[in-house]
Amino acid sequence: MTPFTERQLIDFVYAEARMLDEARYTQWLDLFTDDGYYWMPLEPGQTDPRLHCSLMYEDKLLLRVRVERLSGARTFSQQPRSRCHHLLQQPQIESADAHGDSGDGLWVVRTAFIYTETRRDVQTMYSGWARHELVAVDGALRIRLKRIDLVNSDCAFGNINLFM
């Protein structure tokens, strides 16, 4: 297997954020492996989503349900639809192992961000770090885990409608 370059890993993270900004949720969901997860811990430094409360911990099935809800014409809570924007620092490669434990490689990329979500006259901003655990599937990068660590994760939040 050919290892991915730093540029390919960085471009992947930027392209994933753009898909979300452009509401291409089905295409975004296809970036996840079948055993992939989207995790937003409740506490800084949290190490296990099963033993502690999280803001979100969703497997691909739950992500698909949310994507279908967001895309539905009868989702009245999303009329008008929420919109978002990701402002990313340049992603940093934390580790790269072209072989990995399962033979499909493992690349870990960390990205600081400011995320804005808006609907009608309400605009909400979040900041934190995204951590992508990427693997190769059929020669393409896929997300095995996307972890979002918010700076203020332990605060009270309103509804987070979209994906950071």
Tally of domains in the chain: 1
pLDDT at 12 over 90: yes
Tokens read off for 27: 């295409």
- Asked whether residue 113 is domain-assigned, the answer is yes
| Residue-wise DSSP of 77-127 | GGSSPPEEEEEEPPPEEEEEESSTTTSS-EEEEEEEEEEEEEETTEEEEEE
- Give the whole-number percent of the chain exceeding pLDDT 70: 92
Query: CATH number for the domain including 141?
Result: 3.10.450.50
Provide the pLDDT for residue 28.
Answer: 97
- Asked whether residue 156 is domain-assigned, the answer is no
Identify the domain containing residue 16 by its residue range: 6-45+52-71+82-150
Q: How confident is the model at residue 161 (pLDDT cuts 50, 70, 90)?
A: confident
| pTM of the model as a whole | 0.91
Tens digits of residue pLDDT in 100-140: 666 678 999 999 999 999 888 889 999 999 999 999 999 99
- Asked whether residue 163 is domain-assigned, the answer is no
- Asked whether residue 162 is domain-assigned, the answer is no
- Asked whether residue 29 is domain-assigned, the answer is yes
Cα→Cα distances 113→2, 13, 87, 133, 142, Å: 29, 11, 6, 17, 20
